[in-house]
Structure 1
């Protein structure tokens, strides 16, 4: 099994649930390596957004509160940094702030930017997994190191019934290397 193939299989699995909606930049149009994992997802399930990461994460929380399962895609950690207020102060804390009255389930997908064959410079290759993990009290952060980690992690994120969201971290270099 290959890293990219497992990601594509996982996205198709998620799309099998009628509650999922895929949102972000380059989800309905090509533009990133992650776009290629969505090319067989029906177009009506893909919500293309402008470059507005804080708005995207706010929409993610809203969709989750409305009972949908957003798969919110930020191609690189460095982009997700712009949505951290919404991630840390809202999505992560909604269950705590509501004394368990609201439970949200969102799937947030991000990546450590590929450095090979061309290094895109440091604003695209950050890995903030440990820092974000330390800031989250309810969101589970999972780093996808090996191809065999991918499908079970996305399956767990979809099937979980504990009212928690999941943030999955991919490696851009592994799309073609593993």
Structure 2
């Protein structure tokens, strides 16, 4: 097993799928000769040429529309957003075209497209580069959404997304690209619809995803030392939610805390909380807690930026308050 960085795991996934299937191609700004803004596609242009690694103009709506048309006619394009916030410029193409064409064409067309790129709150990237688009796209019918959190699941999820017949949005966090992990040498894929039980426990279920997985793990180490036994679930699949895994956990712990970097209003946590209340209300011994980012544009100031995002100390306090009440 070789140790690789998360962005290298994504590159391995693209390389293996381009080698396996000549229909796979990549479109986006600087994805070709430059190798992508975070080097996910570095070296692929030299291997596969300018047509399969297509450098596009700075026009997200145009090249996303181009990719959707290519998917309709038989290719399997990967669209890289240099920053996920920029893909708001292609919201119409992703929502009205990629998400709905299979239905509105009466099943005559499929759009096997992957939209991926860096997002989340970085370190002093400013409001426009700190977007969490999962809250925008979760209500669009026809889209699948997954969020990677480790090099292992990043590679497996991207390979599965490329092979899927559905349009898939893969959320990558800008602060996780240099995360290291040993990966199997053999090829593998992961389910696009399954959560991962990261740590088994009995006291409380901590539901999280993306970068917050690591904040929750930091908090869990402190909590375990103090005698608490949290169960940690990485949602991974943001749409659809894996309510089977979530339900199994809550029926065991009878308590749930959602930890997300998404905004409180209209975020993934709000949807998840509603689903738990609808299906698992009788299993709960305490109200669901939802630790979310504040509903403000992300400040540029490092100190203020940190204050808008949930920190491990807040997770520790939330668990103590719920379990000790």
Q: Same fold (TM over 0.5)?
A: yes
- The offset of 1:32, in angstroms, is 4.7
The whole-number CA distance in structure 1 between the counterparts of 2:98 and 2:118 is 19
Q: Does 1:122 align with 2:124?
A: no
Match of 2:70 among 59, 63, 68: 63
In structure 2, the partner of 1:167 is 169
In structure 1, the partner of 2:49 is 43
Match of 2:18 among 5, 15, 19: 15
Mapping 1:23-172, distance limit 5 Å: 23-30=27-34, 32-34=36-38, 36-41=39-44, 42-44=48-50, 45-112=52-119, 115-116=122-123, 119-135=124-140, 137-160=141-164, 163-172=165-174
| CA distance 1:130–1:165, change in 2 (3 Å) | same
The whole-number CA distance in structure 1 between the counterparts of 2:37 and 2:31 is 10
Partner of 1:109: helix, strand, or coil? strand
Q: Is residue 110–residue 167 contact of structure 1 (8 Å, CA) maintained in 2?
A: no
- The offset of 1:175, in angstroms, is 1.1
Q: Is residue 75–residue 109 contact of structure 1 (8 Å, CA) maintained in 2?
A: no
Q: Is residue 112–residue 169 contact of structure 1 (8 Å, CA) maintained in 2?
A: yes
Of 86-95 and 2-11, the range deviating more from structure 2: 2-11
Q: Is residue 26–residue 48 contact of structure 1 (8 Å, CA) maintained in 2?
A: yes
Taking structure 1 as the reference length, the TM-score comes to: 0.88
Q: Is residue 78–residue 162 contact of structure 2 (8 Å, CA) maintained in 1?
A: no
Unaligned runs of 5+ in 1: none
- The offset of 1:151, in angstroms, is 1.6
Unaligned runs of 5+ in 2: 181-325
In structure 2, the partner of 1:4 is 7
Q: Where in structure 1 do 4 or more consecutive aligned residues deviate above 3 Å?
A: 31-34
Partner of 1:72: helix, strand, or coil? strand
Taking structure 2 as the reference length, the TM-score comes to: 0.50
The whole-number CA distance in structure 1 between the counterparts of 2:156 and 2:144 is 14
Partner of 1:67: helix, strand, or coil? coil
The whole-number CA distance in structure 2 between the counterparts of 1:167 and 1:58 is 15
